[in-house]
Amino acid sequence: QAQLVESGGGLVQPGGSLRLSCSASGFSFSLYGMHWVRQAPGKGPEWVAFIRFDGSTKYYLESVKGRFSISRDNSKNTLFLQMNSLRLEDTAFYFCAKDESPRAYSVLDQWGRGTLVTVSS
Amino acid sequence: EIVLSQSPDFQSVTPKEKVTITCRASQSIDNLLHWYQQKPDQSPELIIKFASRSISGVPSRFSGSGSGTDFTLTINSLEAEDAATYYCLQSSSLPLTFGQGTKLEIK
């Protein structure tokens, strides 16, 4: 059974930076695409970014382009989300999720429990 | 951006009742529509993929149908543990988008 554990969330001031990590186990991490999805408290989920199994292709939500960067280290079974120039509206739980496809975005079939990012002065 | 509209937003139902939740896409997405269940303080869990394909380990009372722009999630003989918010997700085009959610309350 796949297990995904996020870390790195916390309180940050507007304009600040955070780096989220997602440690994967229970499946061949290097064979699957991965996503970050966020969910503001009391709201629905919002897709943020996707990375192909080999890291060669990345896609982003328009509102985070140029500020967020998704990456992965397949040797360490770890997914990352570097978040810069954080805004109040970036406040949310951030989930990493496994895609059932290696190359293209498809079905998010396993999710972590999330890490909370709070942007506040 | 493809907009997904779910209905209803909220439904209060009794155990053993049959529940139907709909998800309408703003343009055709073939069968690239997936359903998730989210219980309080938990992450979303995949319950139906590609509109109608069942997921291993998910009770058989959950089923899905539809294609193009109109989709339905059906829960037959509702159980108390089905109290949750249900979301649809489209993977036809970027950005991936979710419906606004349907909250099911068990009476």
Question: B2-36, pLDDT tens digit by residue?
Answer: 999 999 999 999 999 999 999 999 999 999 999 99
Q: Are the C-beta atoms of residues A18 and A29 closer than 8 Å to each other?
A: no
Query: Which tokens hold the place of B104?
Result: 């099911």
**Shortest distance, CA B34 to any CA of chain A (angstroms):** 7
Query: Which tokens hold the place of B73?
Result: 């999630």
In this predicted structure, what is the pLDDT of residue A83? Answer: 98
Q: Which residue of B has its CA nearest to A36?
A: B96
Instruction: Kindly report, residue by residue over B27-80, the tens digit of the pLDDT.
Output: 999 999 999 999 999 999 999 999 999 999 999 999 999 999 999 999 999 999
Chain B residues within 8 A of A35 when measuring between CB atoms = 96
CB contact under 8 A, A114 and B43: yes
In this predicted structure, what is the pLDDT of residue A102? Answer: 80
Instruction: Kindly report, residue by residue over A84-104, the tens digit of the pLDDT.
Output: 999 999 999 999 999 998 878
Non-local (6+) Cβ contacts of A45 within 8 A are A37, A38, A39, A95, B36, B38, B44, B87, B89, B98
Got the DSSP string for A57-97?
-EEE-GGGTTTEEEEEETTTTEEEEEE-S--GGG-EEEEEE
Q: Are the C-beta atoms of residues B34 and A107 closer than 8 Å to each other?
A: yes
**Residue A38 burial (CB < 10 Å; 0-12/13-18/19+)?**
buried
Query: Which tokens hold the place of A49?
Result: 């970014």
Maximum distance among all Cα pairs of chain A, rounded to whole angstroms = 40
Torsion angle (degrees, nearest 10) of CA B50, B55, B59, B61: 20
Q: What is the CA radius of gyration of chain A?
A: 13
Which pairing describes strands B45-49 and B53-54: parallel, antiparallel, or unpaired? antiparallel
In this predicted structure, what is the pLDDT of residue A86? Answer: 98
Residues of chain A predicted below pLDDT 70? none
